[in-house]
Chain A
Amino acid sequence: TQLLEQSPQFLSIQEGENLTVYCNSSSVFSSLQWYRQEPGEGPVLLVTVVTGGEVKKLKRLTFQFGDARKDSSLHITAAQPGDTGLYLCAGVRSNYQLIWGAGTKLIIKP
Chain B
Amino acid sequence: DSGVTQTPKHLITATGQRVTLRCSPRSGDLSVYWYQQSLDQGLQFLIQYYNGEERAKGNILERFSAQQFPDLHSELNLSSLELGDSALYFCASSPTGVGEQYFGPGTRLTVT
A and B together in one complex: yes
**Interface residue A101 (Cβ < 8 Å from any Cβ of B):** yes
State the majority secondary structure of interface residues on B: loop
**Number of residues in B with C-beta < 8 Å to the partner?**
22
Cα-based distance from A7 to B79 in the complex (angstroms): 35
Interchain Cβ contacts under 8 Å between A and B, 17 examples: A40-B106, A40-B108, A41-B106, A42-B4, A42-B92, A44-B2, A45-B101, A45-B102, A48-B99, A92-B99, A96-B97, A98-B45, A98-B101, A100-B42, A100-B45, A102-B42, A103-B43
Interface size class of A (residues with CB under 8 A): 20 to 34
Residues of A within 8 A of B (CB): 31, 33, 40-45, 48, 86, 88, 92, 96-98, 100-103, 105
> Measured between C-beta atoms, what is the minimum distance from B77 to chain A in Å?
20
Which residues on the A side are within 8 Å of B62 (C-beta)? none
Across the interface, name the chain B residue whose C-beta is closest to A102: B42
Point out the residues of chain B lying under 8 angstroms from A33, CB to CB. Answer: 100-101
B90 within 8 A of A: yes
Question: With an 8 A cutoff between CB atoms, is B98 at the interface?
Answer: yes
> Would you give the 0/1 interface string for B94-112, flagging 1 where the beta carbon is closer than 8 Å to chain A?
0001111111111010000
B66-112: which residues lie under 8 A (CB-CB) from chain A?
88, 90, 92, 97-106, 108
- The reply to whether A102 and B100 contact each other, CB–CB distance below 8 Å, is no
